[in-house]
Amino acid sequence: MDLSIPIGQVPRIGEVLEKRLKKLGIKTVRDLLYHLPLRYEDFSNFVPLNQLRPRTNVSIRGKILEIKSRLAWRKRMTLTQAVVGDQTGAVRVVWFAKPYIIDVLEPGSEVIMAGRVSQGKNGLYLNNPTYEKITESGSPVSLQKSKIAGLMPVYPETERLSSRWLRSIIRPILANFKNQVQEFLPEKVLKEFNLLSFPRAIWQIHFPDSLALAEKARLRLAFEELFLIELFVLKERVKILQTKAYPIPIDLPSIQRFVKSLPFTLTNAQKKSAWQILKDLEKSHPMNRLLEGEVGSGKTVVAALAALNTARAKFQVALMAPTEILAKQHFKEVARLLFDFKLTIALLTGQEDKIMAKKLKGEVLEASRQKILAKCLDGQIDILIGTHALIQKSVRFKNLGLVIIDEQHRFGIEQRARLCQRRHSSEKTVPHLLSMTATPIPRSLALTIYGDLDLSIINELPQGRKKILTEIVPPRERQRVYDFIQSQVELERQAFVICPRIEPASSAGSRRPTSWNDVKAVAEEKEKLAKEVFPDLRVEMLHGKMKPKEKEKIMKDFKNNKIKVLVATSVVEVGIDIPNASVMVIEGAERFGLAQLHQLRGRVGRAEHQSYCFLLTDSPARKTQQRLKAMVKAEDGFELAQKDLEIRGPGEFSGRKQWGLPDLGMESLKDLVLVAKCKTAVKEILEQDFSLKKYPLLRERLERFKEKIHLE
């Protein structure tokens, strides 16, 4: 037996437990061993019950005086309550949705518990504590002989799958599979970085002898992932250099003609980025470049220039955007920018009635989906712009030379790979890849700095643009914001009001906690603003559930200044260009990520008018305030992403979204010195043994790591 066997084949784990484990992402024995503790409870230092204080985490030791279970109908779950006493007093203990506890703990049982002390109507109580019995057949067992003495791991849990049970199953598995838990890092690396061996680290992370050893084990596993990340990235970079792509020559006359046709002058940053991209396209291995540009800095112009150069060389271009609104925006913008070059540009989205082709010879063609697909396969379409529809099996290109992905963090690597494979040609070449983003999310930032992506930055705004003044506003001062919107409308300006939800929690059938009922919803807010706050103004709403024709009409009226206040969800985050809008109000700002907030703020300030962004929040959380203050101070998206990296960490590296702590390896990316040393160590190994023939266990581990990896 080895660590890759399905978890259901482990003794004591039947079909029911297997399903519960899969909810935690545990499918194999290896997954179980890498299901790491969130924290540790110290069961060796107990607090007397008469010394408990609210809002503290404690360990107690006592006797079950009484225990009962009932259905809490308001919460629709079982409520199990017990009273635990010691020589100094007694305390109430409460568990939610754990009815089985009443079958495990009976009156008279001696127990040790760890959990948080909460304050209720009837006094203090221990909230959902972990527990262990320390009696066997009524006979006391000394703490030293107890299996749970000392530090106890607390894991991410799911319903009816407690940390206590996970501990009981992980311990024998580690013992039984000790021959399979082998070291795979080179011995030289272990010594150089003073790391625990893998067998010792995996034991100490689950059953530590001390907090210091638990931390050393965590550092070892963090380094291990960092090492695999660097190994993967550096090997991929070499592979890219070995992969073939069609060299696309620079058509200087067409480029000069395009630049002269623009009604504005390109910034130095745009010129530099465009030249870097054009030089990459000349190479016989695929470009893999990220274009990071401030919101409104002109990334589309640079992308259009690259697309023009590619099309003039008789290669096709695919441009994929995450939303239909943004795809249409790109279609109109690229068609306008390249009007004089008589190219055929098509738009393909998931809405068949919205598919059209524009042949830039003075005519607009409405084309069926089948016609567009046939022309694309035949090579008659130069530039195909669309949403996820571009990665459907029916979409094929004759000679795809360049793939452009906008808002690259919204697409997984599988989606991008599928688009890059949409070539009809059987030749073993891949298209060049240009990714674009207005604000790199921390993962993108980290992998751009340390990874295999080449980076171009547009860090200049067009002349005449002013910094958007941003302010954090408590909800009680909302009226001041409304008065300000009114004054801006009198100056012929317009405003956005962004809400986190489409409908109120109650009408959406939500079972969220009561606090969520206070979250602003678009439909409700639109009614309130239209009837009570701005009765003399036209107020409309926009959200993702509306029909395309409705959305199109609303956006057209807003652009033509017929609508003064637009209440919307984050659907307006990208692809909305309303130069006359000068106010952005974001309700529940703490519920949006920094990248989203930055994108939303970028919907205003797109002309010469002074613009404003108001972040409304009632959250006192320290991290929330840190993030929102970063929004107020940050001058550009790159600076904001770096701040997000410091506050939240780079995010998870695996393809599936992991709730809870970020992956260990990504956490360690914040340690720049460690990253640099690790990269050097990896380079030395690859220079001596690129195929890792001398390190078969490391090669095997890397192959498994590649299966779950998710590069941005």
Q: Which two tokens stand for residue 135?
A: 């009696």
Could you tell me if residue 201 is inside a domain? no
Residues 525 and 619 in one domain: yes
For the chain, give the number of residues.
712
Predicted confidence (pLDDT) per residue in 474-498, tens digit? 988 999 999 999 999 999 999 999 9
120 pLDDT band, cuts 50/70/90, is confident
Residue with tokens 């567009």: 372
Q: b/e map of 231-266 (b: 16 or more CB within 10 Å)?
A: bbbbbbeeebeeeebbebeebeebbeebeeeeeeeb
Lowest-confidence region among 184-188, 642-646, 708-712: 708-712
Work out the percent of the chain whose per-residue pLDDT is above 90: 30
Q: Under a CB-based contact definition with an 8 Å cutoff, are residues 143 and 658 in contact?
A: no
Q: What angle do CA 291, 388, 310 make, to 5 degrees?
A: 45
Predicted confidence (pLDDT) per residue in 340-382, tens digit? 898 999 988 866 434 444 444 444 556 778 888 888 899 999 9
Residues 487 and 453 in one domain: no
Q: Which pLDDT belongs to residue 610? A: 92
Could you tell me if residue 647 is inside a domain? no
CATH of the domain at 85: 2.40.50.140
Residue 463: burial class (beta carbons within 10 Å; 0-12, 13-18, 19+) = exposed
Strands 356-359 and 363-365: antiparallel
Q: Under a CB-based contact definition with an 8 Å cutoff, are residues 573 and 600 in contact?
A: yes
Measured between its terminal Cα atoms, the distance across the chain in Å is: 35
616 pLDDT band, cuts 50/70/90, is very high
Structural domain ending residue among the three candidates 614, 634, 654: 634
Could you tell me if residue 649 is inside a domain? no
Residue with tokens 């000069």: 256
* Whole-number Å distance between alpha carbons of 482 and 534: 8
Mean pLDDT of the chain: 81
Is the pLDDT at 539 greater than 90? The verdict is: yes
Q: Which pLDDT belongs to residue 189? A: 93
Residue with tokens 């089985």: 100
Could you tell me if residue 198 is inside a domain? no
Residues 167 and 132 in one domain: no
Helical axes 594-601 vs 637-648, angle rounded to 10° = 160
φ and ψ of 57, to 5 deg: -95, 125
Lowest-confidence region among 135-149, 259-273, 432-446: 135-149
Strands 110-120 and 123-133: antiparallel
Residue 450 is given by DSSP the state H
Could you tell me if residue 2 is inside a domain? yes
Average pLDDT over residues 502-518: 44
The domain of 486 spans 469-634
The Cα-based distances of 110 to 59, 63, 131, 154 in angstroms read 14, 4, 10, 21
φ and ψ of 320, to 5 deg: -110, 130
Residues 611 and 630 in one domain: yes
CATH of the domain at 412: 3.40.50.300
* Whole-number Å distance between alpha carbons of 130 and 113: 6
The Cα-based distances of 34 to 193, 225, 602 in angstroms read 21, 11, 41
Q: Which pLDDT belongs to residue 627? A: 83
Q: How many domains does the chain have?
A: 5
Residues 287 and 434 in one domain: yes
Residue 530 is given by DSSP the state I
Average pLDDT over residues 119-139: 77
* Whole-number Å distance between alpha carbons of 383 and 364: 15
Residues 171 and 282 in one domain: no
Bridge-partner residues for 161, per DSSP?
Answer: 158
Is the pLDDT at 562 greater than 90? The verdict is: yes
* Whole-number Å distance between alpha carbons of 24 and 357: 46
Q: Which pLDDT belongs to residue 191? A: 93
- Report the half-sphere exposure of 450 (CA within 13 A, side-chain side): 30
Could you tell me if residue 280 is inside a domain? yes
Sheet strands (E) in 200-329: 288-293, 316-320
| Helix (H) / strand (E) containing 294 | none
Could you tell me if residue 662 is inside a domain? no
Residue 43 is given by DSSP the state T
Residues 425 and 409 in one domain: yes
Please give the residue that has the higher pLDDT: either 296 or 225: 225
Q: Which residues, other chains included, contact 585 with Cβ-Cβ below 8 Å and sequence gap of 6+?
A: 481, 485, 495, 496, 497, 498, 613, 614, 616
Lowest-confidence region among 289-293, 402-406, 448-452, 500-504: 448-452
Average pLDDT over residues 646-654: 54
Residues 486 and 369 in one domain: no
Residues 237 and 173 in one domain: no
Q: Structure pTM? A: 0.66
Residues 675 and 545 in one domain: no
Helical axes 211-242 vs 198-206, angle rounded to 10° = 130
Residues 317 and 418 in one domain: yes
Q: Which pLDDT belongs to residue 708? A: 63
Could you tell me if residue 665 is inside a domain? no
CATH of the domain at 4: 1.10.150
Residue 412: burial class (beta carbons within 10 Å; 0-12, 13-18, 19+) = middle
Q: Which two tokens stand for residue 584?
A: 């952005």
Sheet strands (E) in 151-271: 151-154
Predicted confidence (pLDDT) per residue in 5-40, tens digit? 888 888 888 888 888 888 888 888 888 888 889 888
Residues 482 and 450 in one domain: no
